[in-house]
Structure 1
């Protein structure tokens, strides 16, 4: 029997759904949640995920923000691009541009939050004026700007050869094996590769359902893009105040990525470390992720931070410096 989904992982009904065309004509599915007229937060999900991935975070934010979530091309309800040429970091940036142009009126700004490939989307879009003028701040979650295959930590270090580990990681990343139905084996594999060891069964189930729903061809084509990813140039041009969130047990984008991103940001707003959390931080620890998004929104988006009610407080932080904070589990 499949584990029951936690109530907050059930996707909430959007108040509005939009169909947005990107620069190359690919149709993107966009959902609007929360409070019309409230400050806007835009959420970009990661590889093999969908808007459903953000359900717990949306539930944390929707009573105080207008929350925009969209399916990356090929994912969820968005159109599957007809050719391999339409999978690229440039396409990701153009998709984000199209979503912002439709959902954030000229002269207004939003906080952008991106998980994994969604964070890479924000970095790839760095320096684009049409995006910069609509961005108040950004939050990059469980992501990297390059060297993804070289620094994956899925294959155990017991495999002593670094070359062999890179080979196995590349084979794993580019696998075209259909995932089929969610099973005990696939749950265990996904938990090991993408989540912290103490992740509850219901949240593992939510992750598995979302990942299994991604078409095999889409998964493989985006894997080719991620295998050669380099968005450092865009990261250097990302001028908005930007915070970074990372799980200490992330095997897909280990902490080296988070530290490198913080070092390269023009306006770093701190690194939030989540002990024992894997790659799926928004599903594993949605309260802390939402609180960090709120922190950036209150500081850089709302004209009157006191007017935006804060979410329930996360566990008290303890850290050695103001720029790096660790949430106590």
Structure 2
């Protein structure tokens, strides 16, 4: 990634043989952070968090299957079970026995954390989690991408829009306006809209469609209640894809919620729209649950 130190890269093999492109930044032995991106994104989505955290954390970021440099799954390779398998495999490959990390997930990455909640590998390695701009169920019925009131028509139209097989086409003025309306807050800076558009448009169409079908039928309500590690929840108040109703319900249902943060005016792409706020949440978790302190330069900033 431009402007970032060169990562150590590895290919992690998941339970079904799927290969996951994985990047590791920062010094060996430093407190560990593992980043799971969302639907249609990639490791590039976490560039600002990696840049800020890598000087004094070991930061692991991986491309979800079918995204970035991880190959498109074979038929049958799309499921919440696969997401949990993949996270468990990345944790096992990048952390030592008994080593714990703060795991942050955005959107589908948060759903990945929920899906893995009861997995032995997750329980062994997760010290705390950040659930960022995500939700466990009712995604199409609660989304406000389609400007209609709640009801069956809006739900059907939302499902058709998000589950479309149509190509996204080139990144241009029109496509950026569409993406900004659907996924970002109204005040988002043009360079951040451009960054998000390039990441989303790079997602292979088969993977975008395959995961849209999983998300349309998602039900991880029980998994939220099984997520027993300390969990912070963060959402933008202008999020149309996973509106704050999801985050408020998760904060109530989580066994150990450390707090709910609602970022005024921010949309769904919070790690890009509000990178400092997301990084601050991760830092607070590493400080509290891993004993990670900022560098002297940061402490005096």
TM-score range, shorter chain: over 0.9
Aligned to 2:158: 169
Q: In structure 2, the residue corresponding to 1:68 is in which secondary structure?
A: strand
The alignment covers a number of residue pairs equal to 299
1:55 paired with 2:47, answer yes
Check 1:311–1:139 CA distance in 2 against 1; reply closer, same or farther (3 A cut). Answer: farther
Check 1:310–1:128 CA distance in 2 against 1; reply closer, same or farther (3 A cut). Answer: farther
User: Which of 181, 188, 193 pairs up with 1:192?
Assistant: 181
Check 1:235–1:11 CA distance in 2 against 1; reply closer, same or farther (3 A cut). Answer: farther
Q: In structure 1, the residue corresponding to 2:188 is in which secondary structure?
A: coil
User: Which of 14, 23, 42 pairs up with 1:31?
Assistant: 23
In structure 1, runs of 5+ residues without a counterpart are: 1-8, 314-329
Contact 2:72 2:206 in 1 (8 A): no
Deviations 1:92-118 (A, max 9, x none): 000000000000111110000000000
Question: Where does 1:203-214 land on structure 2 (aligned, <5 Å)?
Answer: 203-214=192-203
Aligned to 1:290: 279
Deviation at 1:183? 1.0
1:299 paired with 2:291, answer no
Q: What TM-score do the two structures reach when normalised by structure 2?
A: 0.96
- Mean Cα displacement is larger for which, 139-148 or 163-172? 163-172
Q: In structure 2, the residue corresponding to 1:86 is in which secondary structure?
A: coil
Distance between the aligned counterparts of 2:235 and 2:121, measured in 1?
A: 28
Cα-Cα RMSD = 1.5
Distance between the aligned counterparts of 1:310 and 1:148, measured in 2?
A: 43
Check 1:10–1:189 CA distance in 2 against 1; reply closer, same or farther (3 A cut). Answer: farther
Distance between the aligned counterparts of 2:296 and 2:268, measured in 1?
A: 25
Deviation at 1:308? 3.8
1:150 paired with 2:141, answer yes
Deviation at 1:230? 0.7
Distance between the aligned counterparts of 2:274 and 2:296, measured in 1?
A: 17
In structure 2, runs of 5+ residues without a counterpart are: none
Aligned to 1:45: 37
Check 1:311–1:192 CA distance in 2 against 1; reply closer, same or farther (3 A cut). Answer: farther
User: Which of 9, 17, 20 pairs up with 2:9?
Assistant: 17
Q: In structure 2, the residue corresponding to 1:31 is in which secondary structure?
A: strand
Contact 1:11 1:52 in 2 (8 A): no
Deviation at 1:309? 3.5
1:89 paired with 2:80, answer yes
Distance between the aligned counterparts of 2:143 and 2:171, measured in 1?
A: 24
1:129 paired with 2:124, answer no
Distance between the aligned counterparts of 1:210 and 1:62, measured in 2?
A: 21
Deviation at 1:311? 9.0
Q: What TM-score do the two structures reach when normalised by structure 1?
A: 0.88
Q: In structure 1, the residue corresponding to 2:22 is in which secondary structure?
A: strand
Deviation at 1:203? 0.2
Check 1:164–1:77 CA distance in 2 against 1; reply closer, same or farther (3 A cut). Answer: same
Distance between the aligned counterparts of 1:243 and 1:287, measured in 2?
A: 16
Aligned to 2:94: 103
Distance between the aligned counterparts of 1:95 and 1:54, measured in 2?
A: 18
Aligned to 1:318: none
Distance between the aligned counterparts of 1:59 and 1:91, measured in 2?
A: 29
Deviations 1:202-222 (A, max 9, x none): 000000000000011110000
